[in-house]
Structure 1
Amino acid sequence: MAPVTSERPARPTGPGLAALMAIGAVLIKLKWVLTALKLGKFTTMFASMIVSVAVYAMMFGWPFAVGFIGLLFIHEMGHAAVLKARGIAAGAPVFIPLFGAAITMRQHPPDAETEAAVGIGGPIAGTAAASLCWGVFLMTGSAFWCALAYTGFFLNLFNLLPVSPLDGGRVAGAISRWLWIPGLLLLGVSLWLRFSPILVLVAILGLMQLGGEFRRPATERARYYDVPFGARVRIAVLYFGLALFLGYASLASHDVLLRLT
């Protein structure tokens, strides 16, 4: 695509874009979707990637489809890098058309600090990828790269909501499990302002996670969430700092995108 602002690349806009990103963000985290897949992990990864690109291309055009899958892939690689560094066995990413992508963990993290590190690894990598797209836009003036940057910023911001099964829910557990409450309340307000089936799904899963914590033995719960104070502070600074940056970047890139189109 020529790097000029007068061109308008095929891409989702408005509610359609937000819905696509939200669906991808939520179902990225539903690990059980992949348990039925029996193919070799890399065969599955590449095959599912090609299928997903083809599906998105029919909706938004090939350039945006490839870019969107690239953003999802880098996000998942952020999770994969932390999993490998922490010695947690995991499969390769698998892409599910219209749903997103997922990496299955073959073992549960040993504690909340490790789970938080795995959880925030994806948004950090995804934010870096979106920032790179924004940098290309600044150099070229292409609305295509601006659209990809906004998509990446918003996708990763949504993922940081402190509600399970999103990444933010995993991170929040290491800071304070009380953060799950305002996360659910925020979802409730969002649903009251504008109904969305995907938000209903997130709310249901979040409530299930909250209920599961109450059923968990107290000693096991105390051990799992026994995170040193210094680690809590570091995770909190990283989490809230990233959320603030993504919030600003999403608003700024969206404003620029509206002016370009």
Structure 2
Amino acid sequence: MSSACPRSRTSDTMATLMIVVGVLMCLATAYALRGGLFAPRKTKIVGMDLRGLAFGALSVAAAMWFFGPLFGIAIIIAVVIHEYGHVAAFRVAGHADARFRLIPLMGGVAISDTMPDSQEKDFFITLMGPAIGLGPMILALGLSGIMWDISEQAAVFLSTFAVVTGALNFFNLLPVWPLDGGHMMRVIAHAFWPPLAYLLAIAMSAA
């Protein structure tokens, strides 16, 4: 009994620290993506992208069907945050037409009608997909630690979301094409020796 209270206080302290770190990381990411988090004011929406809505609805349904409601919703939110990081970075780099689409059972994809005009912008756009999820992941993990006594279901969802987001980021950072990690490796290789970038692309595609 005497050791339970100190452990509880330690857990609360760790949870609070993670919440603070998570909030700071979210603010830092928002600063890095300033100007790109929201669509330009001049953007006009003409009609509805019925195909995009259908793909999005099908993605949500498929995730909930195959992984269960809790895990499925966590996956969808993690994927949306990840792809939105790419879209916001695209906008920062001057691509006002950037958007993303959910793909059933495969995640999502961020697209623009034009390619980045520099290797630096290409790297930034690729990096911000995984980077934008770090703050929410740590924040959710910290919140889950203090939510058990309030709502066990909410705590389970927050911890599930944190694990899913971490797994998604880890997977996407693997040095395999066409994942973000493989793309960034090719950009770095191109900066030092362009022929190496093409060799890496061939090797990663073959793998």
TM-score greater than 0.5 by the shorter chain: yes
Q: Secondary structure at the match of 2:112?
A: coil
Structure with greater helix percent: 1
Q: Secondary structure at the match of 2:167?
A: helix
TM-score calculated relative to the size of structure 2: 0.62
Indicate the residue corresponding to 2:91 in structure 1: 84
The CA deviation at 1:151 is 1.2
Q: Which runs of 5+ in 2 are unaligned?
A: 1-45, 149-154
Which of 111, 114, 120 is the equivalent residue of 1:104? 111
1:117 and 1:41, CA in 2 relative to 1: closer, same or farther beyond 3 A?
farther
Indicate the residue corresponding to 2:125 in structure 1: 118
Cα deviations by residue, 1:74-99 (Å, 9 ceiling, x for unpaired): 11110011100111254422111111
The CA deviation at 1:105 is 2.1
The CA deviation at 1:52 is 1.2
Q: Structure 2 CA distance, aligned partners of 1:114 and 1:171? A: 11
The CA deviation at 1:165 is 1.1
Indicate the residue corresponding to 2:28 in structure 1: none
Q: Structure 1 CA distance, aligned partners of 2:86 and 2:98? A: 11
Q: Secondary structure at the match of 1:169?
A: helix
Q: Structure 1 CA distance, aligned partners of 2:91 and 2:71? A: 30
Q: Secondary structure at the match of 2:132?
A: helix
- Please give the residue correspondences for 1:216-235 in structure 2 after superposition, counting only pairs within 5 Å: none
Which of 155, 173, 186 is the equivalent residue of 1:160? 173
Which of 127, 131, 135 is the equivalent residue of 2:134? 127
TM-score calculated relative to the size of structure 1: 0.50
- Please give the residue correspondences for 1:1-261 in structure 2 after superposition, counting only pairs within 5 Å: 42-141=49-148, 142-177=155-190, 206-207=204-205
Q: Which runs of 5+ in 1 are unaligned?
A: 1-38, 185-202, 211-261
Q: Secondary structure at the match of 2:102?
A: strand
Please tell me whether Structure 1 or Structure 2 has the larger radius of gyration of its CA atoms.
2
Structure 2 letter corresponding to 1:207: S
Paired residues, number:
151
Q: Secondary structure at the match of 1:95?
A: strand
Does the Cα contact within 8 Å between 1:53 and 1:62 map onto a contact in 2?
no
Indicate the residue corresponding to 1:219 in structure 2: none
Structure 2 letter corresponding to 1:168: G
Q: Secondary structure at the match of 2:117?
A: coil
Structure 2 letter corresponding to 1:116: F
Does the Cα contact within 8 Å between 1:137 and 1:145 map onto a contact in 2?
yes
Q: Secondary structure at the match of 2:99?
A: coil
Q: Structure 2 CA distance, aligned partners of 1:46 and 1:137? A: 31
Seq. identity, %: 31
The CA deviation at 1:71 is 0.8
Does the Cα contact within 8 Å between 2:74 and 2:157 map onto a contact in 1?
no
CA RMSD of aligned residues (A): 3.1
1:93 and 1:128, CA in 2 relative to 1: closer, same or farther beyond 3 A?
same
